[in-house]
Amino acid sequence: MKAASGFLPVVRRELGLMAKYPIYLIMIVVIPLVCYLFFASLMPEGLPERLPVGVIDGDNSVLSRNMIRQLDATAQNRVAAHYTDFSAARNDLQQGKIFGFVVIPSDFEQQLMTNSQPEIRFYYTQAYYIPGSLTLKNFSYMLSTLAGGVALQTLLLHGETEAQAMSIIQPIVPDFHALGNPYVNYSVYLIDILIPGVLELIILLTTVYAIGTELKQRSSRRWLRTGDYSILKALAGKLLPYTAAFFVMGMLYNIILFRFMHYPLHADIGWLMLNTLLLIFGAQCMGVFMVGLLPVLRDALSFSSLYGVLAFSFSGFSFPVEGMPAYVQGLSAIFPLRYYFKIYQNFALNGLPARYSLVYFGCMLAFVLFALAVSVRLKKAALYQDYPKK
Amino acid sequence: MKIFDNIKQAVKACRQIAFGELWNVFRDKGVLIVFFAAGLLYPLVYGLVYLNETLREVPIAVVDNSHSATSRHFLRLLDATPDVVITHRTTSMEEAKRLFAESKIRGVVYIPASFSKDIAAHRQTHISAYASMASMLYYRAMYSAVNFTALEMGKQIQLEELESAGFTRHEAEIQTAPLLFEGVALYNTKGGYASFLVPCILLLVLQQTLVLGVGILAGTAREENLYRDLIPLQRARHGVLHIVVGKGAAYLLLYFFIAAYNLLLVPKIFDLPQLVDFWSLMAFTLPYLTACVFFAISLSVFCANREVIFLLYLFSSIPMLFLSGAMWPHSQLPGFWKMISYIFPSTFGIQGFLKLNSMNADLKQIRIEYLMLWLQTAIYFVTAVLVYRRQIEQSGKEILSKE
């Protein structure tokens, strides 16, 4: 009896393979779950809190002690150590024990009372980017409040009303609005992209592995025969079970992020799910492209790894693409995560109507061209199995 | 002398294995891609991607409902900051929103109709700044540009108001700034993104490519049952020891060059921080590489075939960057993940390197990281020996059962 062939038999054959080899369960369920758990529990507060800073209080007056107490009371910083000299403080900064230290001059209170503008210096490190700049921001905000308070006292004594005094102390008040992420939450900003990014990487590798293994194990002819010798039927039947399985995992992270963790979402969650589905599709197409280009499994995997990890940078979420040198910017076009990020920000952060994302939907679907471009080459490789075994 | 002969023989055995392993590396395209293409090209790609260090001239729109000389002055000052550039002037917020939706601008500054009247009447006035949160750097640029401008212009207004309130010029100046404040960045002074991120990536690339490459080699050995060749050696006294030392030495030799390129040359090419002196760097790189090498050999036990290491390990790169404490303060990590982070050489490697290279610390100041790397070297050396003994015993059994 001739074995059944066609699209559905390929699907059935693949489901059998997925059940037989535990690696697929690990790739589809275990590793994504570990990653979800990792990122979801990594930054529970969203912003670093109580970052340690140091103090060199040369004055040791009521005022300077009060200032240090205020600094310690802020949410972002805590005073971890007092120093008597600069080099001891710098030593701890270099060891990463503190992220910055403030130097209060010896006659600080005296100078302030006699209107001789004492100078406070804050030394910090930007080798740790996020904590360094947050600490500086927090400290300068605290100091400007303090300076404002001093000025207010003088002006009230001088006979101004409080409203008049405030208009002198801070004539122009800027109000900042962080669109879509009002609390400037780092966790939202990072994890909304890191989780789909890691999932995309896993999908890329799984796709290359699922196809490449057929070539390596010399079972590719059987695979193709089950698909009626149509490479498109064989590919579609092979990859559809993964699309479905990864989509379940994809829906899961959307539910975790937007339903359980209540991350900002200014659109229907359905759009985000669609975005995830497109990302899966894009990643699978690139996987087919890689293994079609290099039909030797290990070469395809090496190359996919090189390419896959770069997606995090080229998506532009950490450092915007337009800030990269012009000759590098174009490369971002070949990363599905780039378009995922665009669609995500349009829907989740900015709540824009779907028409603004149509072009990115189109780009995602266009990844199929990569797969089609190598389909003939892939079919030949599957049929003749004529590449080097080693 | 018997001891002398023994040492001589041990060295000979290790050297033989080391050369054999080098040969394995160079005849394997997969390993070459990982060791050399990744180890040598990644630093260049990342250096180029983050070449500009900071985001400048972020395009914004302004909605000026004040239409006054005062508001125009404010906008001129704003436009002159390096962080933002006013590319659109719109008459309504609706129009600005449309530009934002079309990604033509990354933020909007709104000046209310009352702006100049408030200032003329000595009332505090509010302006609004809206920034895209797609990247934290947009918000950062908007924040620093608008804050700076509001302070600059505020100072001029303050002086005028104070003088008209009867203060002398000198008194007025002190009133506007009763105390002076200066923030001084001691390290990564230009606040560059590459200066902070790329050194961490350089360290991580060394560890990750080693694990992947050694994993492929171990997988190949298993597939082709190359361990068979090692069985007679293993039966010799200290055989497994020689194997692990020999292979480790081969990887170490290769990675010595790759690390020199990554840590000495690449920072020069891209003008990244490099405050460490040569010998301290060498002294630090040695335990980092040995820890990575034996970590890689230990992990290679999971490589049943050539490819599986990519599937099981590659995803870990991004989590490891976070576990190292370079992105997010290590002290802020939840306890469980902090424990996990101590498993990886990259945690101590990145921390130590940041302090040594980017913050001009000396080896004494990073002694904790330094000792931990040696401790990891020792632990992973032992696990590597155990792993090899088991693998060789197993393949020995397989051969016996076949025969």
Concatenating the DSSP letter of every residue in B179-236 gives: SEEEEEEEESTT--HHHHHHHHHHHHHHHHHHHHHHHHHHHHHHHTTTHHHHHHHHHS
Contact state of B133 with A130 under an 8 Å Cβ cutoff = no
> Does residue A219 share a domain with residue A274?
yes
Q: Give the residue from A216, A301, A331, A357 with the most B CB atoms within 10 Å of its CB, the best one to mutate.
A: A301
**Which residue in A167, A199, A307, A363 has the most chain B C-beta atoms within 10 A of its own C-beta, making it the best mutation to test that interface?**
A167
> Would you call A163 and B171 a contact, using CB atoms and an 8 Å cutoff?
no
For residue A2, being part of any structural domain is answered with no
Strand order in the sheet with A77-83: A77-83, A51-57, A100-104, A119-125, B180-187
Candidates B100, B139, B182, B318, partner chain A, best to mutate (most A CBs within 10 A): B318
Closest by Cβ to B139, choosing from A136, A144, A184: A184
Residues of A in contact with B119 (CB under 8 A): 171-172
Average pLDDT for B265-294: 95
> In angstroms, what separates the C-alpha of A12 from chain B's closest C-alpha?
24
Provide the whole-model pTM.
Answer: 0.93
Within a domain: A179? no
Q: End of a domain among A142, A169, A196?
A: A169
Q: How many beta carbons lie within 10 A of that of residue B224, not counting itself?
A: 12
Which of B49, B180, B315 lies at the smallest CB-CB distance from A35? B315
Taking the CA of residue B49 and the nearest CA in chain A, the distance in Å comes to 5
Residue A174 in any domain: the answer is: no
Residues A263 and A365 in one domain: yes
Same domain, yes or no, for A278 and A380? yes
Residue A390 lies in a domain: no
Judgement on whether residues A101 and A235 belong to the same structural domain of the protein: no
Best B332, B366, B367 member to test A by mutation, with max A CBs in 10 Å, is B332
Asked whether residue A295 falls in the same domain as residue A315, the answer is yes
Cβ–Cβ of A172/B122 closer than 8 Å?
Answer: no
- From the list B34, B184, B333, the residue facing A123 with the nearest CB is B184
Distance CA B395, CA B391 (A): 6
- B-chain residues within 8 Å CB-CB of A157? none
Contact B62, B109 (CB under 8 A): yes
Q: Which residues of chain A does B327 touch, with a Cβ-Cβ cutoff of 8 Å?
A: 129-130
Q: Is residue A292 part of a domain?
A: yes
Pick from A59, A124, A128 the residue to mutate for testing the B interface (most B CBs within 10 Å). A128
B330 contacts in A (CB within 8 Å)? 96
Nearest CA in chain B to A142: B181
Give the contacts of B321 (CB within 8 A, at least 6 positions apart). Answer: B200, B201, B204, B327
Q: Please indicate, yes or no, whether residues A195 and A329 belong to a single structural domain of this protein.
A: yes
In angstroms, the CA A337 to CA A106 distance is 54
Say whether both A330 and A193 belong to one domain.
yes
Q: What is the distance between the alpha carbons of residues A95 and A91, in angstroms, rounded to a whole number?
A: 6
Residue of B nearest to A39 (CA): B319
Task: Kindly identify which residue of chain B lies nearest to residue A196, measuring between CA atoms.
Answer: B315
| Domain range enclosing A109 | 51-169
Residues A11, A140 share a domain: no
Residues of chain B contacting residue A88, judged by C-beta atoms under 8 Å apart: none
CA–CA dist A192, A376 (Å, integer): 37
Contact A176 B154 (CB under 8 A): no
User: Least CA distance to A111: which residue of chain B?
Assistant: B179
Query: B182, A121: Cβ pair inside 8 Å?
Result: yes
- What average pLDDT score do residues B86-103 get? 95
Please report where in the chains the tokens 């120093």 appear, as a residue: A83
Q: Which one of A135, A169, A203 terminates a domain?
A: A169
User: What local confidence, expressed as pLDDT, does residue A1 receive?
Assistant: 45
Instruction: From chain B, pick out residues whose CB is under 8 angstroms from the CB of A42.
Output: 322, 328, 333-334, 337
Give yes or no: residues A38 and A70 share one domain: no
- Residue A130 has its nearest CB partner, among B100, B327, B366, at B327
Chain A residue numbers with beta carbons less than 8 Å from the beta carbon of B174 are: 115-117
Residue B48 with chain A: CB contacts under 8 Å = 324-325, 328
The CATH number of the domain holding residue A114 is: 3.40.1710.10
Question: Is residue A368 classed as helix, strand or coil in its secondary structure?
Answer: helix
Q: In angstroms, rounded to a whole number, what is the distance separating the alpha carbons of residues B216 and B38?
A: 14
Rounded to the nearest integer, the mean pLDDT of chain A is: 93
Q: Which residue of B has its CA nearest to A24?
A: B311
A346 lies in the same domain as A232: yes
> What's the start-to-end Cα distance of chain B, in Å?
41
- Tell me the per-residue pLDDT of B160-203, one tens digit each, with 9 for 90 and over: 888 888 888 888 888 888 888 999 999 999 889 999 999 999 99
**CB-CB neighbors (< 8 A) of B188 in chain A:** 125-127, 129, 132
pLDDT score of B23 more than 90: yes
Give the residues of chain A that fall short of pLDDT 50. Answer: 1, 390
Is A161 domain-assigned? yes
> Which residue, among B58, B139, B184, B186, would best test binding to A if mutated, counting the most A CBs under 10 Å from its CB?
B186
Tell me: the pLDDT tens digits for B226-270?
A: 666 666 666 666 788 888 999 999 999 999 999 999 999 999 999
Please tell me which residue of chain B has the smallest CA distance to A143. Answer: B181
Nearest residue of A to residue B340 by CA position? Answer: A38
Calculate how close chain A gets to B378, using CA atoms only, in Å: 24
* Single residue among A169, A201, A228 that ends a domain in this structure: A169
Query: Minimal Cα–Cα distance from B7 to chain A, Å?
Result: 37
Every domain of chain B and the residues it spans: 2-51+190-402, 58-176
Mean of all residue pLDDT scores within chain B = 91
Q: What is the pLDDT of residue A83?
A: 97
Q: How many domains does chain A have?
A: 2
- Where does chain A have alpha helices with state H? 7-20, 22-25, 31-42, 62-73, 86-94, 108-113, 129-158, 162-169, 186-216, 220-226, 231-255, 269-293, 297-314, 326-329, 336-344, 358-366, 368-373, 375-384
Query: Same structural domain for residues A159 and A200?
Result: no
Answer yes or no: do A70 and A138 share one domain.
Answer: yes
Number of CB atoms found within 10 A of residue A186's CB:
19
The number of C-beta contacts closer than 8 angstroms across A and B is 335
Q: Is residue A275 situated within a structural domain?
A: yes
A47-69 confidence digits (pLDDT tens): 888 999 999 999 999 989 999 99
A268 DSSP 8-state letter: -
Contacts of B198 in chain A (CB under 8 A): none
Cβ neighbours, 10 Å, residue B6: 12
Tell me the fold of B58-176. Answer: abc type-2 transporter like fold (3.40.1710)
Structure-block tokens of residue B235 = 């039966």
Which one, of A325, A318, A322, A370, lies nearest residue A341 by Cα? A318
pLDDT at position A386 is: 74
